[in-house]
Amino acid sequence: MRKIAVFASGSGSNFQALADAVSNGTLEADIELLVCDKPGAQVIDRARKLNIPIYTFVPNTFPSKAAFEQDIVNELKSHGVEYIALAGYMRLIGKVLLNAYEGRIINIHPSYLPAFPGKDAVGQALSAGVSETGVTIHFVDSGMDTGPVIEQEKIPVLPGDTRDTLQQRIQQAEHKLYPAILHKLLQKDTIGGIVQ
């Protein structure tokens, strides 16, 4: 069974979707660790209820990004983590993590990349007045949402959509797509390459 860590910064709905998929057997993996950069985040409560180990940190208490990333790598290694799934983790991954887990870090982003990278992709889509946005699962590189795309799904922007209604539909798609694609990647052991 593949050992994964989930990185999250917020409410943890994608973390919960992955944990549920592990529980019901549709994602054959073990979530060994939650990594969170916000000690008060709701995702921590979700992990506690599931008895998943938690590593939290406050970035500005470290002398550098490299320092806190090395601390994270040490923690990941101590749990035998093989792959990382970013699920609403609101930090760019730096060289230390990228080097330690090259080709084994996956992210889910709430837009049809390359449109609307970075923060507030839902708000960006609404402000742009587009007729559709989407969900993208991609490998992580040193850029902001620039890594090779693994899978995408388009989501229509409906007349009268608000941030909440659009985000809800995007999350519904994310919660199905992310566990399914992670399962496929882990089963085929295609981490580090683009799935065709």
| Residues annotated within a binding site | 12-14, 65, 90-93, 107
**φ/ψ (deg, to 5) at 185:** -60, -45
Q: Which tokens go with 5? A: 């860590």
DSSP string for 76-121: HHHTT--EEEESS--S---HHHHHHTTT-EEEEESS-TTSS-SS-H
Q: What is the Cα–Cα distance from 64 to 77, expressed in whole angstroms?
A: 20
What DSSP state is assigned to residue 25? T
Q: Which tokens go with 146? A: 């620039």
CB 124 within 8 A of CB 111: yes
Q: What is the Cα–Cα distance from 67 to 84, expressed in whole angstroms?
A: 19
CB 110 within 8 A of CB 174: yes
Catalytic residue set:
109
Q: Which tokens go with 104? A: 């084994």
